[in-house]
Structure 1
């Protein structure tokens, strides 16, 4: 092994000195009374006599000194409850700390910059600091600049933001000259919008701030970008102003077309026909026109609320019976896996126990782990009780359980519900790849338009009077189906030339009028 010279050691020490360490200890997972204090016993700094980790069996939670910590990661590996995270950051970012909730807890770096008369959009994952930033900007939370033991006065806070637009903003907020309430017609009001549906965020925002970091540990707010640039930066996964990659790979929304599958591919697939079906529920009536589907394809159901999309899914799942009983034999012949719109946690036990009971051999299957489980990043909740999971966590577990069933048809009702924009991207890619590689069929209800267009091979459009009498039309190609649906709601979409993501045209804009005149409400190629 090559021995390091003094110059190499000097460079390493200099690089190490330039790093800022954040130690996060989960108050939910850390249980000193139930462990052998492995973190403290194995810490090399504690062995030298320094108090890097302070904890005993009477403690409620372990305390880690970020100043003394050398970032060896031994405590992270030794903790039996996986309650510790040690994160290295550039040291110069420490001067931008706006708020920290306490020792070894989440901290926020920088704040979005509000502008009068404009809508600010925030893009980032769950647990990255969007709500904290909004609480500070709406005066519901006083920023402590990271000094949680000795919170600063407003005089010091204003001095911290000296020379920044935020100094003027907070001054006006304190003088009650600003009212941060969603009220579009008032030009003296600032509007903040935090949405996970990127197409809606794109349409409503005047400018965007992205947030990057590690969920539950730290969040960093970028400088303001134009809406198109900001969302594209988030999707690309690289922040040029911080010279940092926040995601391993970018997402491209190049959409499916009929030419994507060769004639040889189509010959190998099995095609199925389904009959016309009618279902009446109280005063609501749904008619499903006959159609067909094949393997390795995803059918996205599009329609307004109350148009019968979930009823369609429940019919195919066999949960309800059609009025015309002659179609019952077809439905009974289907082998399906169903994920409902509303997920109810009923399992008594941990996530790990649930997955082991439902997945059986697939739980340790390398392919299923690499393609489905690992991308969803559920390692941190495996030992959590299912009954205590949040909506987003429950959604990810439900998707895993649904895809684990060995069936021919997957019926998935709103897979994006409770998920943030990045998790929606991950789920879209997982489902798309899974259906294609396993030669299965999926029928999906989805309201996130970007996610719907990314997933869809074919579209089933629901029209008629919502809640009264609707029709599920025969499956159409992506372009034809999207055009039909968008014409119903009188909205046009264009494509971003960089990553092909669909973008809503401003109502009555030149582009909007031009596309409506040509009858192209949805453009596949530009």
Structure 2
């Protein structure tokens, strides 16, 4: 049977600034029986309600809360035992991914459904309480609850402190707070397997090892974090979003490093990888668990499936083995119009050249058309952001002046959060009209963010606000630099639909730089490929046929893709697989 639960977000709950609507509108508190519903807890100072009395009528409390701090949720059919709960009315997790010797296990799902909590439990940093959040439970209880499952032995070893876990943190910038020396000094301290040299080569980190940790970019920090994790002599390697900040080639290198050091090692090591980039997941994972539920309220971890089956069932929104629908609509993929943009030309730009120190960029002349989405592909430090900054008028080309009559709206790669409410932030640049409401506000789910301070937003929430601020401007051309960063798969697909619909309905060109090939494949009508040598020289041709562009780019990063017959999504081939070899023989890197 389905249970109704109440979940209170303590960060949003602010009884000092509201009129206690959850209490005043609670049907139990208003009944003549005097039953105790929502109340302010003396210890926490936050709204609380006994879980035994939550009922359908309490949805009015969630609706009336001015800070959206309360969720009244119908639990889906449980797919596992309750593993952990963060206190009364707190987030709860059902199930756990099971590490397997000699395998890489992937975890895929929406943000806020317990993936990072699962990694903390597997690492031994968080002891599961089986829902007994007041007093907790002993390890014997945890082991007994998982008797007969693959996790029984794992928990037995955890109880005896017999599991050595090595974790790669999600927030890699924290490395700079914890260590102040050079990269090679840090890796030398962590090298317990004698494999640092091999990792540096696989991850293409030769130039980074001599740098101070404090001077590293986000991509360099990510690779250092992965190398440090895999350098430790551990039984299980736990990697949370290892592809963030990385370009396509670097993501492939990370996937190879994880497989080489775990699944393809001596067979007694194992890895669990939480990842939103489906192409990276295709390459790295042998098996996939799907995390589903209500973000911030509860999460459930499915059983293990092959990587293809797991990803496809997630995209369909239906877990066949559980007979459970986790989403109302399927996520399907249709490739763009392969360069046949029907709109008139909005902007023609000439050949553009720019030099920064030892780096030199050359972009061939091209055009941008009505309703046209141009996907921009290329490695990091190859000139993609420089190109859109020149179009936007933020940088002056060395060889010419851009005096185009067109106006440009630009979402930069790096977003800075201002210390103001989101609604006020958007009102500075955005015209709040029906077009904005239909094409931007509703699809990006901005309602839930308006009353939040921008400095309190997560990376994904800030990304949605940044995209909205760009699309909400009145402009002839829209330029978005890495809009999918920090977003989970469902949000990326929703964003892709938003961008395609916006371009078509507003009849404007949209230029999108991104490293998620599945995301770009979903939205691009034409492709623009940057090649060269990162940090030294960059070159780009004009926007052209999307299939040819993807094929050229994938050949440079040494990766093959094929179209999945069930979902239509572009699926990365595992290097060395039969399909990978067949496509390479015909130079068909993008089937």
**Conservation of the 8 A alpha-carbon contact between 1:130 and 1:211:** yes
Cα distance in structure 1, aligned partners of 2:44 and 2:103: 48
Q: CA deviation at 1:271?
A: 5.4
3-state secondary structure, aligned to 1:181: strand
Q: Deviations for 1:170-207, whole angstroms, at most 9, x for unmatched residues?
A: 12333415622264124222200011111101111001
**Conservation of the 8 A alpha-carbon contact between 2:38 and 2:47:** yes
* CA separation of 1:186 and 1:100: change in aligned 2, threshold 3 A: farther
Q: CA deviation at 1:56?
A: 7.3
- Once the two structures are superposed, the pairs formed by residues 306-455 of structure 1 within 5 Å of their partners are 306-325=381-400, 327-330=401-404, 333-346=405-418, 348-362=419-433, 365=434, 367-455=435-523
Match of 2:75 among 43, 65, 89: 89
**Conservation of the 8 A alpha-carbon contact between 2:80 and 2:95:** no
Greater Cα offset, 65-74 or 193-202: 65-74
**Conservation of the 8 A alpha-carbon contact between 2:374 and 2:527:** yes
Greater Cα offset, 275-284 or 22-31: 22-31
**Conservation of the 8 A alpha-carbon contact between 2:339 and 2:544:** no
Q: CA deviation at 1:388?
A: 1.9
| 2:18 equivalent to 1:35 | yes
Largest Rg, 1 or 2: 1
Q: Deviations for 1:112-166, whole angstroms, at most 9, x for unmatched residues?
A: 1221111110001111100011111111111000101011011111111111111
**Conservation of the 8 A alpha-carbon contact between 1:306 and 1:467:** yes
Q: Which runs of 5+ in 2 are unaligned?
A: 165-234, 239-260
Greater Cα offset, 24-33 or 439-448: 24-33
For 2:274, the equivalent position in structure 1 comes to 194
Q: CA deviation at 1:57?
A: 9.1
* CA separation of 1:148 and 1:360: change in aligned 2, threshold 3 A: same
Q: CA deviation at 1:229?
A: 0.9
Cα distance in structure 2, aligned partners of 1:249 and 1:378: 21
Match of 2:361 among 273, 286, 296: 286
Cα distance in structure 1, aligned partners of 2:529 and 2:463: 25
Cα distance in structure 1, aligned partners of 2:55 and 2:574: 52
* CA separation of 1:95 and 1:257: change in aligned 2, threshold 3 A: closer
For 1:210, the equivalent position in structure 2 comes to 290
3-state secondary structure, aligned to 1:121: strand
Q: Deviations for 1:229-286, whole angstroms, at most 9, x for unmatched residues?
A: 110111111222333322222122221234866xxxx3x6235432111111111000
Q: CA deviation at 1:361?
A: 3.3
Give the length in aligned residue pairs: 493
**Conservation of the 8 A alpha-carbon contact between 1:300 and 1:459:** yes
Cα distance in structure 2, aligned partners of 1:446 and 1:95: 37
**Conservation of the 8 A alpha-carbon contact between 1:33 and 1:58:** no
Q: CA deviation at 1:59?
A: 6.4
Q: CA deviation at 1:293?
A: 2.5
For 2:548, the equivalent position in structure 1 comes to 480
Cα distance in structure 2, aligned partners of 1:24 and 1:393: 20
**Conservation of the 8 A alpha-carbon contact between 1:124 and 1:210:** yes
For 2:565, the equivalent position in structure 1 comes to 497
Match of 1:113 among 98, 115, 120: 98
TM-score by length of structure 2 reads 0.80
Cα distance in structure 1, aligned partners of 2:66 and 2:18: 7
Q: Deviations for 1:19-42, whole angstroms, at most 9, x for unmatched residues?
A: 312111121222223333222232
Greater Cα offset, 207-216 or 28-37: 28-37
| 2:123 equivalent to 1:123 | no
Cα distance in structure 1, aligned partners of 2:554 and 2:147: 48
Greater Cα offset, 172-181 or 44-53: 172-181
Q: CA deviation at 1:336?
A: 0.4
**Conservation of the 8 A alpha-carbon contact between 2:80 and 2:300:** no
For 1:248, the equivalent position in structure 2 comes to 328
Cα distance in structure 2, aligned partners of 1:42 and 1:462: 58
* CA separation of 1:19 and 1:316: change in aligned 2, threshold 3 A: same
RMSD across aligned positions (CA): 2.0
| 2:126 equivalent to 1:141 | yes
For 2:39, the equivalent position in structure 1 comes to 54
